[in-house]
Amino acid sequence: MLFDTNIPLKKLNSFGFDAIAEKAVRIEKSEELIHVLRECQAQDLAWRTLGGGSNVVLNDKLPGLTLLMQIKGRKLIEESPSHWIIQVGAGENWHEFVEWTLSKGWPGLENLALIPGTCGAAPIQNIGAYGSEVAQTIQSVRALDLNKLHEDNPWIDIQNKDCAFTYRDSLFKHEPNRYIVTQVTFALPKEWVPNLSYAELAKHIEQHSDDASTLPSITPKQIFDAVCAIRQAKLPDPKVIGNAGSFFHNPIVDADKHDELKAKFPGLVSYPAGRVEGQTQFKLAAGWLIDQCGFKGKRVGPVGVYENQALVLVNHGGGTSTDILNLAKSIQEEVQGKFGVPLEIEPNIL
């Protein structure tokens, strides 16, 4: 099998880095993966998958083979008394998929509007925003299991309970060289309840509503529009300024550490994050931590920290993965030194 060589990836990563794939192949049908990966094994080629490139930091040169995930398709496959069951290909654009479900009258994903990337990446990252996580609506994930690559049926449908979904995490992140997501099935409940658990979202809707008494009758489209407006106000458009959205996970600490920080820094921004082994956990706002270290709006050569949101690192033009990662390291060291809290990088580094 012949692969394309020296493929520019500048338009396939939201940072806009001038990365080059040594070899690349477009995957438009799931069956193509079997032949391609068997060929990789035969040639002893390293490989990786690349979807929308919205949650990655690409090095200048990607050795081996880059699989460009472009499997399309979206459809309602079943309608039960309680749910709409919808399948979508891994290469579909996530935001366009959310918009499409609402246009069909199938709400449930509106809080996740305008998140960049593809539908195949959604379960891998367990994308979440404004009080919602994609794990709440995923029924199952279809993937190629590389442990079964030479069997007659290497496909596996992994049910939600077996996906090990946690905050920004999943089975697929822990075994990146075993599973390749090709399709996701969603179960959207017909008994829709607006999710206004995120204070900023509820406040925005209240401020832009003619009458606060109308909040109980809010529509999915109103939430969708509000989420889009908030994100556009806070986050830069990758088409204008290269970025990968939130660059760090919001760190989670135990109650003792939280109380210690709250006493020392009364303005600490934090949220309850459930309980582990009987102890309450708290999620800290990484953007607030970074801002307190003086990085918000700071520029280092061609890269920097976005002026409106310290959680976002940006490429002003001409930056490289080395530039971004050096800046990220400086931020991690400062936050660790000031707060005693480690920051974990969210995007995948390829």
For the segment 344-349, the average pLDDT, to the nearest whole number, is 93
Cα–Cα distance for residue pair 81/189, rounded to 1 Å: 9
Confirm if 285 and 248 have CB atoms less than 8 A apart: no
Note whether 81 and 152 are same-domain residues. Answer: yes
Domain-terminating residue out of 27, 52, 69 = 69
CATH of the domain at 163: 3.30.465.10
Name residues whose C-beta falls within 8 Å of residue 160's C-beta, 6 or more positions apart in sequence. 135, 138, 139, 140
pLDDT (0 to 100) of residue 167: 85
Work out the mean pLDDT of the chain and round it to a whole number: 94
Q: In terms of pLDDT, which residue wins out, 19 or 277?
A: 19
Contact 160, 138 (CB under 8 A): yes
pLDDT in tens, 294-342: 999 999 999 999 999 999 999 999 999 999 999 999 999 999 999 999 9
Which helix H or strand E contains 279, and what residues bound it?
strand 279-284
Tell me the C-alpha to C-alpha distance, in Å, between residue 89 and each of 63, 72, 119, 121.
27, 5, 7, 11
Residue 141: inside a domain: yes
Domain count, the chain: 3
User: Where residue 10 sits, what CATH number does that domain have?
Assistant: 3.30.43.10
For residue 216, the model assigns a pLDDT of 60
Could you tell me if 249 and 316 lie in one domain? yes
Q: Report if residue 233 sits inside a domain.
A: no
Res. 211 pLDDT band, cuts 50 70 90: low
Is residue 259 located within the same domain as residue 333?
Answer: yes
Among 46, 69, 92, the domain-final residue is: 69
What is the residue range of 38's domain? 4-69
Residue where a domain stops, chosen among 39, 69, 99: 69
Q: How far apart are the first and last CA of the chain?
A: 24
DSSP-derived 3-state class of residue 94: helix
Same domain, 343 and 284: yes
Q: Is residue 158, in this structure, part of any structural domain at all? A: yes
Taking only the tens place, the pLDDT of each residue in 242-268 is: 999 999 999 999 999 999 999 999 999
For position 268, which CATH number holds?
3.90.78.10
- Among 53, 69, 60, 54, which Cα is nearest to 20's? 60
Tell me: do 64 and 128 sit in the same domain: no
272 shares its domain with 310: yes
Q: Please give the positions annotated as active site.
A: 168, 246, 346
* Tokens, residue 103: 């246009």
